Amino acid sequence: MGIEPLRDGHGRQIGDVRVSVTDRCNFRCQYCMPAEGLPWLERAEILRFEEVAQIVRVLAAMGVHDVRLTGGEPLVRRDFPQLAAMLAGIEGVQDLSVTTNGFLLQRDAQALVAAGITRFNVSIDSLQRDRFYELTRRDALDRVLRGLEVLSGYPEAHPIKINAVAIRGFTEQEVLPFAELARRTPYEVRFIEFMPLDADRAWTPEQVLTGAEIRAAIEAVHPLEPLPRDLHATARVYRFADGQGRIGFINPVSEPFCGDCNRIRLTADGRLRTCLFSLNETDLRGPIREGAGDAELEQIIRDAVWRKELKHHVGEPGFVQPARTMSAIGG
């Protein structure tokens, strides 16, 4: 008899975990971090590879088959490909992916593919060098694009997705260049609505450039056709009507997909979060370091996930932004 799947109190079966491996990042993106950066976690506070593997092993046994590795910037974690290989070897892990800013891809692409990473999401918010610098506070676009080109040389890494955060007053100029990129390359570009997870706490609803607005701007030039949406997918994906490429829209603010949410998150310091906007967390690092075995860990996780929020409350009266920013939660 198999182990009982992991479910929340609303009947949703959990199948996806986002694992942050570090809170450190080599960029200072305006929607995430202040220019001077943030205080980093001490090394002893960060989960060790073996601790991450134990948690993922317990989750995989409960049917959490999709594992996405995030940060901060995950590639700055020392020996990160070694961790990827450990997780790829866990029974039940069916899909192992990574979200990266691409700065170190030229160095690490081969090692990550060899370790067993099957999907890559690369964050690029502008295709213009000066505007990329304006948003990330790093003159790194050329290096990111070189890394992307290196990665694209590995068939095992495809499809490669490019994520662009959509901010009103900035992204409008990027929409058509990104659409053209999606048409002439094998990359699937995805626009993600700006969410209130910035360290400066400057987010306002007016800054959200919605997926519907972006789609309309693209369709005015290139007609789009919707593709079927998988039950738990975050993106609404369209193909260009002439067959040249695909483009996606992740609309957590204007079109929340909470009802289908099957995701949980693990922070770099070992806290389980049941929603990106959770105000509460469950400590897993403490019990592990006190000697908790898999069975005890499983029960702690089940109890926490049972209390998973029905939805986020972004845009509603009384919404409270979580204390952690995106870089500290894990993208």
pLDDT tens-digit series, residues 193-208: 988 777 677 778 899 9
154/108 Cα distance (integer angstroms): 12
Q: Output the pLDDT for position 44.
A: 97
Nearest to 247 by CA among 166, 168, 193, 183: 183
pLDDT tens-digit series, residues 263-282: 999 999 999 999 988 889 99
Residue 1: pLDDT over 60 = no
Q: Does any domain span residue 94?
A: yes
Q: Does any domain span residue 149?
A: yes
Angstrom CA distances, 5 to 10, 20, 50, 183, 297, stand at 14, 23, 23, 40, 15
Q: Does any domain span residue 51?
A: yes
Q: Output the pLDDT for position 243.
A: 93
Q: Does any domain span residue 2?
A: no
Q: Does any domain span residue 66?
A: yes
Which CATH number covers residue 95? 3.20.20.70
Partner residues linked to 17 by β-bridges: 67, 264
What is the residue range of 322's domain? 16-329
Q: Domain total for the chain?
A: 1
Nearest to 105 by CA among 93, 121, 116: 121
Q: Does any domain span residue 46?
A: yes
Q: Does any domain span residue 4?
A: no
Residue 167 tokens, joined: 């901010």
Residue 323 tokens, joined: 């204390």
Nearest to 249 by CA among 326, 193, 175, 183: 193
User: The pTM is what?
Assistant: 0.94
pLDDT tens-digit series, residues 240-256: 999 999 999 999 888 87
pLDDT tens-digit series, residues 296-329: 999 999 999 999 998 887 777 777 877 787 778 8
58/298 Cα distance (integer angstroms): 6
Q: Output the pLDDT for position 270.
A: 98
Q: Does any domain span residue 3?
A: no
Q: Are 186 and 162 in contact (CB under 8 A)?
A: no
Q: Output the pLDDT for position 322.
A: 79
